[in-house]
Chain A
Amino acid sequence: MTDFTPFSALIGGLIIGFSALALLILNGKIAGISGIFAQVFDKYPIRSSWQVFFILGVIIGPLLVMPIGFSLPQQIDLSWPAIIVGAFLVGFGSRYGSGCTSGHGICGIGRFSIRSIYATLIFMSSAIVTVFFIRHIFGAF
């Protein structure tokens, strides 16, 4: 069980929305994490680009809110096979489908992009079905 935390979830969501909006208004860029992360390595030799700075920010950002009581999970209760299979599918799918939760789910839908609306409906559905199978058909965790 996890507690229902609509208030902190909404505040977090608003911060994410402002961050993504600022990146577009100021720099003209879409805050899609999978795309930005992939682009860091697309450029060879790796040079400092805005993508590197954005990703660094995402990594350091959590440390800023720790003094006010927020935290990162100390332990990941997932098996190694789940981590490896899940990570590959997340990486492959987000690149092949041109986006993930942030790029399609926030930026794309916010622009009323038909591609992103479809993508979000599809990945939400396939994720829900996957959890249903794992938890309620196979009875794992």
Chain B
Amino acid sequence: MTANTLVPRRKRAATVEVARPRTLISPAQLGRSRGRAVYWIVFALVVLLFTLVFLGPLYWMVTGGLKTTQEVVQSPPTAFPTSMHPENYEQAWKVMDLAKLLFNTLYYAFGALAFQLIFDVAAAYSLSKLRPIFGKAILGLMLMTLMIPATVLVVPQYLTVLDVPIIERNLLNSPWAIWLPSVTNAFNIFLLKRFFDSIPRELLDAAAIDGASAMRTLRSVVLPISRPILGVVSIFAVVGVWKDFLWPMLTLPDPGKQTLNVGIYSLASGVPENVLIAALTIASVPTLLIFLLFQRNIMSGLTAGGLKG
């Protein structure tokens, strides 16, 4: 193809002219006044539409929590609360015991994070750099779990948690029921392993020559380099627990031990609408904060998880 022969020259020219790579619509077309007008009109429409579609419900949620019960279910709905009732939030916090639910969720999420960081990082490091015998087979077995639909395993997993073989423990209502299964995250291990694979061998050899043990190498060489991928995996781990519904519903039947999702769901029918909406707002704040703080890492993680890496 002619395009191939043109690649190197064009590429250089492009970086000089515009920082952006060429896309579907040619710069010449955009340069024309008609093109520019169409661009701005489409852009304005998309921004407006997206704000309405994706931010609108959140706005409705936050303001809905401030309305009276009558106003929430009033038709037509009001765009802005006619009178402010911040006490709904207070009531939601108290009535639904959100402090407890929030604490539980945090406890499960960060526990799961700790277990995943310790076990999955160690496993990925071993599989990538220490290359044990049967390592390939173990990795294969781990990746195989990605091929099994997760929901198919819910029933036997639940039965396992009821009576863990060998140690013969019932993990129902215990945080271990969340923490330990969260380690079986083949996707995270795969992400970590791929990152570790990219660390140059020489770096590790140098550490070995200096007499560093495998543990020391992991701590002083591998982990500091791997900060970006550790961030990505951490966010996925925390958000995963935060968003999970079916598993915590099954394994944590005790209301005092439930997560936000399950707790709010089971209490939903017993509280007035405005209080419930306030509770939803409170439940959403932590993950939204995580997202706003770490959106760069999340975006890069998504594309790293994508196929071409």
A, B in one complex: no
Q: Which residues of A contact B (CB under 8 A)?
A: none
Q: Which residues of B contact A (CB under 8 A)?
A: none
